């Protein structure tokens, strides 16, 4: 079998609502999620055994024992006859950045193992493994515009998002999700189900429709993250100040922020200005879909 390849796209939380802390210590949430056209690249050379090599600009932040290897081990546990092989992960996304890098890598590994073992595995088999690997892995499996809720394991795909120009900026500060949730100090979860929420998720025909919706929504973790890393507020403000930026938000638990722009040209110009002003920041342009 030839070498298989997947892109583990960056996940962007357009909204993030924290409903409360459950008795088990985890948090109920609801989030509108889109995916950028950029991401890590994962390749698999199917064969016996399991190996993984990591390269790319953010390889130094990971060891060989990461979520790709864990995904392969969990597939092996439910399917001893499945073959894995040699993975190579090109780590292009910053780590602990609020854009689902590790979760997206794990989901890409599941997709590759599914492709390598069609006679032994089905989509439902790998989908059941997602919650064991992390709260964001389920939404990253199909990489579609969606709403996720519960702990993140419940996912409902939405009508396709119009191609939306964005600039993603990370200041080079890692924020651990657990630390941000602790700083939030959310109240007790009262048991509301998604149907009882006042949020609705309409179809977005234009970028303007999306921005109008986001103007009344936010990210409940943003202020907690800024309290831990004030530079997140600086990044968001810098994005908001760029010509053509329609709205700026933090993604996930940070520290990456995104700005939605009125066109590709203004997004590229903004990224160029920010990159020159802050060469230590990770600044990229992309599109959401």
How far CA 272 is from CA of 135, 159, 226, 233, in Å, comes to 34, 32, 24, 20
Residue 143 DSSP code: T
C-alpha 61, offset from chain centre: 17
**How many helices and strands in the chain, by DSSP H and E?**
9, 10
Distance between CA atoms of 90 and 3, rounded to whole angstroms?
15
Is 198 designated active site? no
Neighbours of 112 (CB within 10 A): 25
The tokens for 103 are: 């979760």
Catalytic residue, candidates 11, 40, 91, 236: 11
Is 220 designated active site? no
The tokens for 173 are: 């500060």
Catalytic residue, candidates 40, 91, 105, 136: 136
What is the chain's alpha carbon radius of gyration, rounded to the nearest angstrom? 19
DSSP-assigned beta bridge partners for residue 148: 31, 155
Phi-psi sector, 109: left (phi>0), alpha (psi -120 to 50), beta: alpha
Tell whether omega for the bond before 255 is within 30 degrees of 0, i.e. cis.
yes
Under 8 Å between Cβ of 29 and 37: no
State the catalytic residues. 11, 136
């Amino acid at each position: 079998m030839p070498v298989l390849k997947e892109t583990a796209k960056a996940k962007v939380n357009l909204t993030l609502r924290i409903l409360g802390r459950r008795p088990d210590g985890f948090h109920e949430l609801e989030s509108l999620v889109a995916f950028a056209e950029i991401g890590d690249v994962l390749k698999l050379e199917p064969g016996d055994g399991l190996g993984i090599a990591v390269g790319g600009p953010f390889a130094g932040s990971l060891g060989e024992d990461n979520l790709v290897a864990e995904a392969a081990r969990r597939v092996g546990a439910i399917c001893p006859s499945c073959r894995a092989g040699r993975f190579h992960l090109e780590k292009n996304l910053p780590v602990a950045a609020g854009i689902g890098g590790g979760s997206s890598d794990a989901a890409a590994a599941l997709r590759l193992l599914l492709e390598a073992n069609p006679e032994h595995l089905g989509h439902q088999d790998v989908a059941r493994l997602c919650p064991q690997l992390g709260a964001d892995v389920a939404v990253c499996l199909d990489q579609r515009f969606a709403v996720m809720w519960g702990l993140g394991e419940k996912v409902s795909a939405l009508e396709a998002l119009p191609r939306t120009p964005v600039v993603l900026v990370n200041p080079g500060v890692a924020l651990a999700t657990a630390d941000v949730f602790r700083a939030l100090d959310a109240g007790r979860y009262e048991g509301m189900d998604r149907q009882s929420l006042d949020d609705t998720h309409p179809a977005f025909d234009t970028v303007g429709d999306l921005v109008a919706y986001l103007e009344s929504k936010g990210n409940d973790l943003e202020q907690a993250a800024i309290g831990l890393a004030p530079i997140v507020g600086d990044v968001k403000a810098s994005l908001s100040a760029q010509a053509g930026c329609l709205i700026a938000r933090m993604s996930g638990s940070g520290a990456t922020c995104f700005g939605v722009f009125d066109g590709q040209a203004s997004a590229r110009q903004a990224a160029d200005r920010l990159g020159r002003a802050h060469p230590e920041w990770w600044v990229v342009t992309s599109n959401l879909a």
